[in-house]
């Protein structure tokens, strides 16, 4: 079984092209699949569109009455996948804004089948790129990724902030049992949770790989949900939590193993 996790906030203009391409790619696989979508307090027609899709595709809907942000949406999505899934399943997190092309699903799953726990769709791997960003946004994106690579080095990864990833059921189940609600601890700090998941999985020994992909910002129709100042603050807070000499994440995990 493949579980596709989709956090959604005011994505009515993006759903039709994204779901059409996603269903086409999933129908080509040899696996059954279910889409798990978290409607995070949308105020547009997102809820109506999801209701209409229920009769056409396997779909589980999580509804937040108010917008809680990406961190809480991601937490609920992963916990739902673990609740209804089983060992041997695949979990893939994508964005709803049509910037993550489903054509890469097969390569992501292929790497998982080689024995990796996590596969990341990477703009910075050879053959990858990002299209549609302004020069300023492109610079910020690369600078942020360099910051993450320096402070949170993970062997074999060049990409840290893209949420388009595949996971084994086993590694997410182990992480949730290990960390509990703190698997995604920095829930109120924007897109920080995307990096936090990688770091928390590294601390419990996950094996990582990446595939090249092209991030299509030029296909994005909805407004950006990222608030750069909040996410930047989140990265700084996370760096302190990771390296804090009196009980930081690294020290805590080292003590658990001893």
Nearest residue to 111 (alpha-carbon basis) of 206, 44, 28, 15:
206
d(CA 105, CA 66): 31
Q: What is the pLDDT of residues 103-134, one digit of tens each?
A: 999 999 999 999 999 999 999 999 999 998 88
The predicted structure's pLDDT at residue 228: 78
d(CA 76, CA 39): 11
Number of domains in the chain: 1
Query: For position 125, which CATH number holds?
Result: 3.90.550.10
pLDDT tier at 149, thresholds 50, 70, 90: very high
CA geometry: angle 210, 82, 22, nearest 5 deg: 55
HEC profile of 69-99: CHHHHHHHHHHHHHHHCCCCCEEEECCCCCC
The predicted structure's pLDDT at residue 221: 77
Q: What is the pLDDT of residues 61-103, one digit of tens each?
A: 999 999 999 999 999 999 999 999 999 999 999 998 999 999 9
For the cut 70, the answer to whether the pLDDT of residue 258 exceeds it is no
Residues with Cβ within 8 Å of 133's Cβ and at least 6 positions away in sequence, in order, are 141, 217
What domain range includes position 167?
2-257
What would the mean pLDDT of 211-235 be, rounded to a whole number? 84
């Amino acid at each position: 079984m493949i579980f596709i996790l989709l956090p959604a906030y005011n994505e009515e203009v993006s759903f039709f092209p994204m779901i059409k391409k996603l269903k086409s790619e999933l129908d080509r696989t040899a696996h059954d699949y279910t889409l798990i979508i978290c409607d995070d307090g949308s105020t547009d027609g997102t809820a109506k569109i999801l209701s209409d899709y229920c009769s056409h595709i396997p779909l589980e809907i999580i509804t937040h009455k108010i917008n809680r942000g990406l961190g809480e949406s991601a937490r609920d999505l992963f916990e739902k996948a673990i609740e209804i899934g089983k060992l041997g399943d695949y979990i893939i997190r994508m964005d709803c804004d049509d910037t993550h092309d489903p054509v890469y699903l097969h390569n992501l799953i292929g790497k998982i089948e080689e024995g990796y726990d996590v596969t990341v769709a990477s703009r910075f791997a050879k053959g990858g790129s990002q299209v549609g960003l302004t020069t300023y946004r492109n610079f910020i994106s690369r600078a942020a990724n360099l910051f993450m690579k320096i402070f949170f080095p993970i062997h074999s990864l060049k990409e840290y902030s893209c949420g388009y990833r595949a996971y084994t059921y086993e590694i997410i189940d182990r992480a949730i049992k290990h960390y509990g609600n703190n698997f995604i601890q920095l829930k109120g700090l924007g897109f920080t949770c995307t990096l936090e998941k990688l770091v928390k999985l590294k601390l419990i020994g996950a094996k990582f790989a990446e595939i090249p992909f092209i991030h299509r910002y030029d296909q994005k129709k909805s407004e950006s949900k990222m608030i750069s100042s909040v996410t930047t603050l989140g990265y700084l807070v996370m760096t302190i939590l990771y390296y804090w000499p009196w009980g930081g994440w690294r020290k805590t995990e080292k003590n658990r193993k001893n």
